[in-house]
Structure 1
Amino acid sequence: MTLQQSLPWILPIIIVGVLYLRVRPGQERPLNPAQLWIMPVVAGGMIALGLWFSPHPSPTPLHIAILVVAFAAGIGMGYGRAHTIALRRDGDQILAKASSFAFMLLIVLMLLRQGAREWFASSAGAVAIDASMLFALGMIITQRLTMWQRVKRLA
């Protein structure tokens, strides 16, 4: 494998390393409920830009159905992932503890996305990439919204 072929895999490896350092499964971290909106807004903006500026084939009912299913699957995955994070109140702060399962799930999803990007070509690849971005958006929004609802119940 040449350097040119391995470059698309280097960024996901770096992201996994950063995620591990940030999340550290099994370690409790303070959770600020007032900041839960930041990630969905940033990710939504970045994904919207990615969708806007990337080339797309002319939409067919199948492509639209794939995108709707991907977004719906992201919503379901975000709800499930939010419930793998243990929350507890300690005095006046909320502590969150990510599970190893949730971290491994993120790695599997990133690998699947990268594999789909490599596997598909031309128009099918564009639809697969768009679907993966909508999946991620649905997952991020739903996870943060579900976490916010769970934190409100603890308060």
Structure 2
Amino acid sequence: MTVLREYEYEDHTADIKVIGYGNTPKRAIEALVLGISNLIYNSEKVEKKESFDYDLEGKDILDIIYKVAKTVLEDSFFNKNLAIRDIRVKNLKRVRLESRKYKWYCRFSVYGEKYDKDKHEFRKEVKAVTLHDINITKIKKTYWTVELVVDV
């Protein structure tokens, strides 16, 4: 089976909306993160030399999407100086806590190498991930879109 992970961009006032597509919510989130990374640098030039694992909790799926994108941008790229070649969402689930209350959990890994402005062809500065226009949509039985706006 072919795993669908694609992304595109839309202008959004002074920012850019990134839209990730996938045949599951996990693949759509991965595509979104790769789309954000490709705004900053050419991820095709990045080698998989290092990896980092993350576990996140959120109040809902939109909170998880925001936290994944923010973690990759701020922790992996800004703090660890890691250029991302790939991301794998290994676990994404909603867990019932008590009487109709739920929490979401996400475990994912990022793969890449230390960022080199020349090697990875710097493209654009992305300052932050925003909560503006964040959305996840099931288009067909097995087709999802995830979108959010980044501050450039």
Q: TM-score scaled to structure 2, two decimals?
A: 0.28
**Structure with higher RCO (Cα < 8 A, 6+ apart):** 1
Give the structure with higher Rg (CA): 1
Q: Which has the higher helix share?
A: 1
Q: Which has the higher strand share?
A: 2
Q: TM-score scaled to structure 1, two decimals?
A: 0.28
